[in-house]
Structure 1
């Protein structure tokens, strides 16, 4: 007979991973905070500090180091908190696989995925978990998000949840996604969902990488309702060297339009023609805004590098 523990060990061995356990609980925690990390040394400590400062205490933190070659391992070796479990991949796997591994190693009823350069406010987990605890019919809860640059300086405040604040049906959320031409639900750090629904809907899919989390959100709201909490409880980093920044604007737009087309042609959602037309127009507008935001982040980073270089030049003896 294979126990759950044996199955988990076998899964890790087959995937070529090494697990460093945290506290061995007889009862699984209510919430799992899952952090997929790759070459994350620059911001990982800030992310960990925000996660471990939560007022909600019945949680675990699952970190999967995707075979990083920078200082990520050193940071993780200095984590001494029995709520934390660290898993190290023996080889680098695709980003979508690392996201799924982080969540599938979790044990909590509720799950939140936090990229290794994002942060959450101290009461973020408590606020979202309370919504899921109070209503079994809710599959996904999201909060507003600040957009910050490489150095944590604010780019745009309180983003997300346009038209979907409060309790909404999946139909309302999907119509808003199509109509907005963007992601009104928010990035991964904004959401919290039930582990059972994640498993039932198949987890993250990597066919369209740019709208990957939006694809997950749209499948989760097939399982239940959505609640948008009108508070800014997370920060999403617009990194100048992030995957999104390195994806061309044309590719981002093409993937967004393809994803929207799939929602439109899904008979479950019955998207009206007016939403389809407005959504296509908005897709181009939102792509331009997104490109400008990443350009601003890159410009700030370039100015900081130049300023740092000038300071070092002045410090050299003549």
Structure 2
């Protein structure tokens, strides 16, 4: 395990929060200079007052640390790994250093709407049987422009039993719950189910969602509360389409073998067909984001400007 250097940002020690916050927003960051400021701005603009922000800089070398040194907000705590660790290890480190009852993991290139934390925390407050709450998300490109609005939660809006949601995962051929930025969960459940597992970088969040669903029900918020960036240099973009498809099919097969989820042969076959279609769509989105990014860089050069050298840099670890 890497050594952690902890530094509260802003505030002298006497002004730091000592009470346990309701929500911890955890931001694992690596080579995140390009989008980190936008992520932090959206997180700190929440209309809830009862939250903390924990940022783990995974030994970045691109200026991420300088951005974090400039943050002057007593709600923010910054920790830095002494050496770069695998992506899922960094996610787990971020959550382990959280103090809130509820946890929201936000990758360092995604953003939240101002009401996101308040709405999702209210669900967990009101429904003690719910172990995972998620919301719809917008898909945006490297430059923050809209690609696809209001995505996620097909057939799983509102209060849903866990087995129904897992069956929808198999039948959808993808991740209907959404990425980490869409979700919120209880810290106690996260600890009991073992946190993020390095199953594959592509499916680790979906694997966690299923293990959380083994502890309770699901609630899908029918509004858009976050934006997920289709970043051209992200881990998903750099994983081959064939590998992603193989991982998805293997994961669905393992769910089908687990008798607690009541998955039928018809569910598996339908999901297999859907997997091919969803993989084509996913590949197309990342290709379009990459094309838009290249065009922006070319336009900047034509205008005599220096394009962002971090374009396409991986933010998700």
Structure-2-length-normalised TM-score? 0.93
Alignment deviations for residues 281-302 of structure 1 (CA, whole Å, 9 cap, x no partner)? 0001100000001010011011
8 Å Cα contact 2:17-2:75 kept in structure 1? no
Could you say which residue in structure 2 is the equivalent of 1:310? 302
The alignment partner of 2:122 has SS state of helix
Rounded Cα–Cα distance in structure 2 between residues aligned with 1:199 and 1:21? 24
Rounded Cα–Cα distance in structure 2 between residues aligned with 1:207 and 1:219? 12
Check if 1:154 corresponds to 2:146.
Answer: yes
Alignment deviations for residues 240-271 of structure 1 (CA, whole Å, 9 cap, x no partner)? 11111111101111111111111111121120
Could you say which residue in structure 2 is the equivalent of 1:139? 131
Equivalent in 161, 165, 168 of residue 173 of structure 1: 165
Q: Number of residues paired by the alignment?
A: 300
Rounded Cα–Cα distance in structure 1 between residues aligned with 2:106 and 2:199? 21
Check if 1:15 corresponds to 2:2.
Answer: yes
* TM-fit CA distance, 1:167: 0.4
Could you say which residue in structure 2 is the equivalent of 1:74? 66
Could you say which residue in structure 1 is the equivalent of 2:263? 271
Could you say which residue in structure 1 is the equivalent of 2:282? 290
* TM-fit CA distance, 1:205: 0.7
Q: State the 4+ residue runs in structure 1 displaced beyond 3 angstroms.
A: 22-26
* TM-fit CA distance, 1:27: 2.4
* TM-fit CA distance, 1:61: 0.2
Check if 1:240 corresponds to 2:239.
Answer: no
Alignment deviations for residues 168-203 of structure 1 (CA, whole Å, 9 cap, x no partner)? 011010000000000000000000000000001110
Could you say which residue in structure 2 is the equivalent of 1:251? 243
Aligned-residue RMSD, C-alpha: 1.1
Instruction: Name which structure has the greater RCO, CA cutoff 8 Å, separation 6+.
Output: 2
User: For residues 77-226 of structure 1, what are the structure 2 equivalents within 5 Å?
Assistant: 77-226=69-218
Structure 2's unaligned 5+ residue stretches are 10-14, 306-317
The alignment partner of 1:106 has SS state of coil
Rounded Cα–Cα distance in structure 1 between residues aligned with 2:150 and 2:64? 30
* TM-fit CA distance, 1:15: 3.0
Q: Which has the larger radius of gyration?
A: 1
